[in-house]
Amino acid sequence: MMTICLNARTIAAAAALATAGLAISAQAQDAKTGQSFVDNFDRIDRKVWYISDGWDNGAHQNCTWSKTQVKVANGVLDLTFEKGAGKTRDYICGEIQTRKRFGYGTYEARIKTATGSGLNSAFFTYIGPTDKKPHDEIDFEVLGKDSGKVQVNQYISAKGGNEKLIDIAGGADAAFNDYAFIWEKTRLRYFVNGTLVQEVTDPSKIPVNDQKIFFSLWGSDTFTDWMGKFEYQDPARMQIDRVAFTAPDEKCVFPESVTCVLN
């Protein structure tokens, strides 16, 4: 996320922290976290995934989360954005998140992003004040205004400012691409299509709290400096072919995993 623009999770976290007076000092990861898995989205397992429905993340978001915008077809998870009657918005959009939290390990997803200025296709991990934790987050975000790049970023105790733009050959919305990050206590590495594109070793810039895995497609009329002018034309679609988590020191959970390649 660009420093000049706060996203929905940042705004919500700041408000909650101010209200509740939560300490944002670093906390250790929980002992109980999710186990290694791979999901090829033959169906949506409701024991694994929670579908956001009936709310939005703030005034900057011009769509309401709707379960109708989250579907599986032909082994692919579709998150869609289109005109529709949300509670307070003219558009409806899709988001899905894991019910469990996950700690250090390898996170991977194969994604084709949405097209359209003002839209954000995101694969990220997040935890925050609603879970009685500081705001920690690790991001891949593709902005529809320029689908030739993906932005990587991380938040530690609600502090961001670690953005880097990575080129996506052929465009993130033209075909499926592989996004991965390996999160360790002393290092965080981002990969695109198996290539290392960013490495973080400064401990102050590496999250410490275990987090939930999210996929979301949303839009904004107000974040024009960051997301571009909102220009809706047709129903937009973000597609996720696969997601996986591999815990440290465990075997890779699918053959193309960066964990297999690196080991």
Positions marked active-site = 137, 141
Alpha carbon 57 to its chain centroid, in Å, reads 14
Cα angle for residues 182, 187, 192 (degrees, 5° grid) = 40
Which of 238, 246, 257, 106 is closest to 178 using CA atoms? 257
Pairing label, strands 188-192, 149-155: unpaired
* DSSP E strands, the chain: 37-39, 49-51, 63-65, 70-73, 76-83, 91-98, 105-112, 119-127, 136-143, 149-155, 164-167, 177-183, 188-192, 195-200, 212-219, 236-246
